[in-house]
Amino acid sequence: MELKRGIPVSPGVAIATALVVETEGVRIQRRTVDKSLVATEIDHLRIALTKASADARENQNAISAKLGKQYGAIFAAHALLIDDPELVREIEQMIAQKNYSAEYAVSLVMRRHAKALESMNQPIFSTRSSDILDIEKSILKHLVGEQGDPLQNLQEPVVILAHDLTPSQTANLNPKMVYAFATEAGGKASHTAIMAGVLEIPAVVGLGRFLTQVSGGDEVIVDGNRGIVIVNPDPETRERYLVLQKQSVSFARRLDELRDLPAATKDGTRTLLMGNIEFPQEGPHCTDRGADGVGLYRTEFLYLNKTSEPDENEQYEAYLAVLRAMGPGKPVVIRTMDLGADKLFQVGDNHPHEKNPSLGVRSIRLCLRNLAMFKTQLRAILRASPFGDVRIMFPMVSTLMELRQCKMILADVKEELEEEGYAYNRKLPVGTMIEVPSAALMAEEMAKEVNFFSIGTNDLIQYTLAADRTNENVASLYNAGDPAVVRLIDRVIQAAFKHSIEVCVCGEMSGDPIYTMLLLGLGLRQLSMTPQNIPEIKKIIRSITIEEAKQVAQEAKRFETARDVNNYLREQTRRILPEVVVN
Amino acid sequence: MRPMQAFVETACRFACEVSVWVVDKQPVNGKSMWGLLGLGAEQGMKIVIETTGDGATEALKALAEIVERAYDKEPEPRA
């Protein structure tokens, strides 16, 4: 059994036979042609370019229809790059002067450009080498013929393992046969990762070199919830994941059963289960599962892969898209930009190198230093507010001063909109995330300043235990069941109660079944999670009484180690609902 | 990539030649995405757009507008 950790970019788990795809470029032999054939070779090139460009346009239309216009636009750029007069000139020159074959000239020129872009070392461009590979392949397809695309016409379910997948390969995957994919390269912001999320194919990227340890036909598990890939699992692990997978396969049925039932306990206590989303297209993922709203709408996608700041109208449209999908009366909590400075076009390059980015200028700290950008986002959110139950939330607030500053800027923006005659919800609920221990400790004071809290457990755990869970040497310290974390959460909930404000948990903890009873028992009535987890959590809630949950929480609070807390919670969860798989 | 895409699409609509310059680099063809990508131009960098031939004045106006619209919001000085 071999376990690798990467970056989870699309949730879900799958276990299937591995299909290893060679995508590290098309291998083209160096070939020269006779001088008399140069003109013919150039003709071939031109025809291939025309066809490849037509393919890209066709892809643009197909993907636009399937996933939305902005994803189609990726292929419009491909077409523009293929039609490029400079590119044609460059390749033709190589054929004419060196008598290279058209395919060899194409591959040389593309490799040169890919290298040049990579060496530029700008995050905006470095994720783009897969786009160039995509273009190269589409041209070569018309010169040397299709090299038998292994991803099409799959006869049996597979897990795809590759160095990297191009955006068009991903967009055209068949989710019925491709249970999941995992790649060595890639990051959270790559086009490939974005497509996987929209298609709901579980995916893990950025695994680093591992393909040499796998052969086609090996059994592989991809856990897109935790960012784990397991090759040739041992029987116990295999069993565990088979049950998990079965659950997601029989998911459609369970979903229908549960969708229209309320998330209420046996004694009738109503809870709100909401979805965490990243892209406007994910709104339907929430409604399909009967979500009570969107508890966390991450807005980072608006800022990633951009050469410039997203303008107000672009943001406004993205917010409206989710409001439309959710319908009236369902809360949509929009979180302001939560990125590190290194990920941002504007400040990225002149930003001083940070030794410790997760403790540096990021998220709200970055927004408060880039007021023009921050205000643009606040304007867009406010302008969307009359069209639904919009709420605004500030991430990574660590002091009361920061929170007050945010509110002041929000007030400024409201005044601006007032003067310009825009409509907005004057009572727009304002919340803060509690994800830094200092904020959790100051929750009483914070509660006086806002309408709601949202506890971001992912960061809260990381900062409380000072452990990065992607670092395998300390990952075991990172634990939602740690008594220190449980006590902080308890404290935040009590502060919210005392000041009669709403409180929600929006970290991964809320989608993990073993913590459901604990969280309810501590007093939470709102949970926001990956939409795919909603049915399972709802099932647990509908199987317990509040009294039971309270007892579980009381008991869990008495333990002194994360291990004891987790063992106890696992046991209780199994007792309530034996068919739920607990990890 | 979007402003660059708009720039090239607009440049291609005009018959005139379009070149783009940045300090210390060879000028590139403004009708070429590859050329512009290779410039590594980023926000805050000064670029020179030169148009010659049919419709040069109109082209220059349209292109300058795209660049201004894409990058008009200056980053706030950091406190």
Q: Please count the residues of chain A.
A: 583
Same domain, A455 and A556: yes
Q: Which residues of B touch A373 (CB under 8 A)?
A: 73, 75-76
Asked if A373 lies within 8 A of B71 by C-beta distance, the reply is: no
- Mean predicted confidence (pLDDT) in A558-578: 92
**8 Å CB contact between A256 and A313:** no
Look at the block and give the residue holding tokens 């507010």: A385
Among the partner residues B34, B71, B75, nearest to A113 by beta-carbon distance: B34
**8 Å CB contact between A174 and A215:** no
- Mean predicted confidence (pLDDT) in A226-239: 91
Examine the residue annotation and report whether A499 is marked as an active-site residue of this protein: no
Interface of B with A in 33-52 (CB under 8 A): 33-35, 37-38, 40, 42-44
Q: Which residues of B touch A128 (CB under 8 A)?
A: 1
**8 Å CB contact between B63 and B49:** yes
- A437 domain-assigned: no
**8 Å CB contact between A18 and A220:** yes
List all residues 6 or more positions away from A496 whose beta carbon is below 8 Å from its beta carbon: A443, A447, A452, A453, A502, A503
**Nearest residue in A to B37, CA atom:** A117
Asked whether residue B79 carries a pLDDT value surpassing 60, the answer given is: no
Same domain, A254 and A359: no
End-to-end Cα separation, chain A, in angstroms: 18
Asked if B40 lies within 8 A of A305 by C-beta distance, the reply is: no
Angle formed by the axes of helices A129-144 and A38-67, nearest 10°: 130
Q: What is the C-alpha to C-alpha distance for residues A311 and A293, in angstroms, rounded to an integer? A: 26
Q: Which residues of A touch B73 (CB under 8 A)?
A: 308-309, 372-373, 376
Question: Which residue among A97, A120, A144 closes a domain?
Answer: A144
* Domain parsing of chain B, residue ranges: 2-71
Asked if B3 lies within 8 A of A307 by C-beta distance, the reply is: yes
DSSP string, chain B: -HHHHHHHHHHHTSSSEEEEE-TTS--EETT-HHHHHHHT--TT---EEEEESTTHHHHHHHHHHHHHHHH-SPPPPP-
Question: Which residue among A95, A112, A144 closes a domain?
Answer: A144
Q: What is the C-alpha to C-alpha distance for residues A443 and A330, in angstroms, rounded to an integer? A: 26
- Mean predicted confidence (pLDDT) in A72-95: 89
CATH label of the domain that carries residue A220: 3.50.30.10
- Give the confidence band of A305 by pLDDT, cuts at 50, 70, 90: low
Q: What is the C-alpha to C-alpha distance for residues A473 and A467, in angstroms, rounded to an integer? A: 9
Asked if B2 lies within 8 A of A306 by C-beta distance, the reply is: yes
Q: What is the C-alpha to C-alpha distance for residues A281 and A423, in angstroms, rounded to an integer? A: 26
Percentage of residues in chain A having pLDDT higher than 70: 90
The pLDDT mean for chain B works out to 80
Which H helix or E strand runs over A314? helix A312-326
Q: For residue A310, give the 3-state DSSP assignment.
A: coil
- A361 domain-assigned: yes
What is the CATH T-level fold of the domain B2-71, as seen in this structure? Histidine-containing Protein; Chain: A; (3.30.1340)
Asked whether residue A568 carries a pLDDT value surpassing 70, the answer given is: yes
CATH label of the domain that carries residue A83: 1.10.274.10
Same domain, A555 and A474: yes
Look at the block and give the residue holding tokens 């990051």: A187
Beta bridge partner(s), residue B18: B51
Catalytic residue among A286, A367, A504, A506: A506
Which H helix or E strand runs over A363? helix A363-369
Asked if A307 lies within 8 A of B74 by C-beta distance, the reply is: no
CATH label of the domain that carries residue A313: 3.20.20.60
Domain count, chain A: 4
Same domain, A494 and A559: yes
Q: For residue A369, give the 3-state DSSP assignment.
A: helix
- Give the confidence band of A397 by pLDDT, cuts at 50, 70, 90: very high
What is the Cα A58 distance to its own chain's centre?
Answer: 27
- Mean predicted confidence (pLDDT) in A503-523: 94
Which H helix or E strand runs over A42? helix A38-67
Same domain, A424 and A468: no
Same domain, A280 and A351: yes
Taking only the tens place, the pLDDT of each residue in B48-72 is 899 999 999 999 999 998 888 776 5
Asked if B31 lies within 8 A of A85 by C-beta distance, the reply is: yes
Domain span including residue A406: 272-428
List all residues 6 or more positions away from A232 whose beta carbon is below 8 Å from its beta carbon: A1, A2, A218, A219, A220
Examine the residue annotation and report whether A191 is marked as an active-site residue of this protein: yes
Query: Residue B78: its pLDDT value, please?
Result: 35
- A498 domain-assigned: yes
- Give the confidence band of A66 by pLDDT, cuts at 50, 70, 90: confident
Mutate to test the interface with A, among B1, B10, B19, B31 (most CBs of A within 10 A): B1
Q: What are phi and psi of A43, to 5 degrees?
A: -60, -45
Q: What is the C-alpha to C-alpha distance for residues A255 and A288, in angstroms, rounded to an integer? A: 8
> Is this complex scored with an ipTM above 0.95?
no
Q: What is the C-alpha to C-alpha distance for residues A132 and A116, in angstroms, rounded to an integer? A: 11
Q: For residue A114, give the 3-state DSSP assignment.
A: helix
Catalytic residue among A191, A285, A286, A406: A191
Taking only the tens place, the pLDDT of each residue in A258-297 is 888 999 999 999 999 999 998 888 898 899 889 999 999 9
Query: Residue B1: its pLDDT value, please?
Result: 53
List all residues 6 or more positions away from A100 whose beta carbon is below 8 Å from its beta carbon: A30, A31, A32, A33, A94, A108
Q: What is the C-alpha to C-alpha distance for residues A449 and A432, in angstroms, rounded to an integer? A: 9
- A349 domain-assigned: yes
The pLDDT mean for chain A works out to 87
Same domain, A87 and A224: no
Among the partner residues B44, B73, B78, nearest to A309 by beta-carbon distance: B73
Select, from the ranges A34-43, A297-306, A562-571, the one with the highest average predicted confidence (pLDDT): A562-571
- Give the confidence band of A343 by pLDDT, cuts at 50, 70, 90: low
